[in-house]
């Protein structure tokens, strides 16, 4: 099989995104279509897939594997190209693995939260455009921005809740999610080797995760949520908090398009962090705390949804053989029997991770006395 050249794509970001998406989907199709009775210590991905994927990934500054951007951000088309980009005018799941409505609706629901999140980016930009955050007029404006922020977070919360009505947990877990697994996604899952790459172990190959959403990262940075436990805040982290993967959020940024990552770095370098301003300005504190509390409620909701779709389903019995995904399911069931606690797609103990994120959000609340 020939190795396609990618030089003609380098000047067109849209073509680069499309190439990354198609090649990444093909890599996951290749890996997860191996018969279930074939066992490898390592999975070699052939050069015709690897070489162009590595080239376009380098150009986009994104991980050379399937990502949240491939499955959600770039995985849609307009129903009517003459009409504006709205949720009603977008068809999701242009590329899918299982072809199920559960998979399509999952992509649709994830994209819905991203569209709602556009308001969050507007709020962040408006805050940073304020000339002087200590003036009375600016304080009033910041309070209005924080009110809008709480509403936007609540809209995301509502969107997550709606997915429970739209995505069948069993179909999601057994027929869709296995396709997303990346390299060494469990204790018994083989590591991937990219043919022609000097050291594949240095590549980020975990697969897509909601943790790769730049909207949520931007929100955390804006509100100064300390996931890495670097600040002394109260209540003190619990023992389970300390056991969680504190580098998860930072690592997930490597799976984002380079421009998204650069935007997050810009927020992190802010000369006037919002939490510091709220700490020094009592008139802002109440609205800041309200926004943080709304985010904590969102993470509570996300924990319940993740428990239903992953933790509970990981303990359920797989569907009977005969369906198109029977082979993949048998492989996954065999591997799951040798794995530990339920994990997110990126290979993390899910319950610890989500609880630590929720508790880190709680610790961002400022004292009001």
CB atoms within 10 A of CB 168: 17
Q: Are 326 and 185 in contact (CB under 8 A)?
A: no
Cα 98 to Cα 29, 81, 352: the distances in Å are 10, 27, 29
Which ranges of the chain does DSSP label H, i.e. alpha helix?
13-32, 47-60, 68, 101-128, 136-166, 169-171, 177-180, 214-223, 239-243, 248-252, 258-268, 274-280, 282-306, 313-314, 326-336, 350-362
Burial 34-68 (b: 16+ CB within 10 A, else e): eeeeeeeeebebebbbbbbbbbbbebbebbbbbbb
Identify the bridge partners of residue 69 per DSSP, sorted by sequence position.
Answer: none
For residue 59, give both structure tokens.
Answer: 């150009």
111: Cβ contacts below 8 Å, ≥ 6 apart: 72, 73, 75, 76, 87, 90, 92
* 305/307 Cα distance (integer angstroms): 5
Is 108 one of the annotated binding-site residues?
no
* 314/78 Cα distance (integer angstroms): 35
Measure CA 262 to chain center.
Answer: 17
| Crossing angle between the packed helical segments 282-306 and 350-362, to the nearest 10 degrees | 170
Q: Are 347 and 206 in contact (CB under 8 A)?
A: yes
- Annotation: binding site: 302
- Annotation: binding site for heme b: 302
């Amino acid at each position: 099989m020939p190795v396609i050249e990618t030089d003609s794509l380098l000047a067109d970001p849209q073509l680069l995104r499309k190439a990354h998406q198609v090649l990444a989907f093909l890599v996951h199709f290749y890996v997860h279509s191996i018969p279930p009775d074939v066992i490898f210590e390592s999975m070699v991905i052939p050069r015709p897939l690897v070489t162009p994927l590595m080239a376009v990934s380098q150009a986009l500054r994104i991980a050379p594997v399937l990502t949240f951007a491939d499955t959600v951000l770039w995985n849609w088309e307009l129903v009517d190209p003459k009409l504006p980009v709205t949720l009603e005018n977008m068809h999701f799941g242009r590329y899918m693995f299982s072809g199920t409505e559960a998979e399509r609706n999952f992509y649709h629901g994830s994209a819905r939260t991203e569209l709602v999140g556009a308001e969050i980016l507007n709020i962040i930009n408006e805050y940073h455009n304020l000339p002087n955050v200590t003036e009375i007029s600016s304080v009033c404006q910041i309070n209005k921005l924080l009110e809008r922020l709480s509403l936007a977070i609540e809209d995301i919360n509502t969107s997550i809740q709606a997915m429970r009505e739209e995505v069948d947990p069993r179909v999601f877990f057994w027929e869709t999610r296995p396709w997303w697994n990346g390299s060494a996604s469990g204790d018994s899952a083989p590591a991937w080797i990219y043919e022609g790459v000097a050291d594949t172990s240095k590549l980020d190959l975990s697969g897509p995760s909601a943790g790769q959403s730049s909207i949520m990262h931007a929100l955390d940075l804006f509100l100064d949520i300390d996931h890495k436990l670097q600040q002394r805040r109260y209540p003190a982290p619990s023992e389970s908090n300390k056991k969680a993967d504190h580098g998860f959020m930072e690592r997930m940024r490597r799976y984002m398009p380079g421009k998204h990552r650069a935007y997050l770095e810009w927020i992190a370098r802010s000369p006037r962090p919002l939490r510091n301003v709220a700490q020094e300005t009592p008139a802002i504190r109440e609205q800041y705390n309200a926004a943080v509390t709304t985010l904590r409620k969102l993470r509570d909701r996300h924990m319940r949804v993740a428990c239903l779709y992953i933790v509970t389903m990981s303990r359920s019995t797989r569907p009977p053989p005969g369906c198109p995904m029977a082979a993949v399911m048998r492989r996954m069931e065999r591997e799951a029997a040798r794995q530990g606690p339920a994990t997110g797609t990126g290979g993390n103990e899910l319950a610890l991770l989500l609880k630590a994120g929720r508790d880190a959000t709680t610790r961002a609340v400022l004292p009001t006395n």
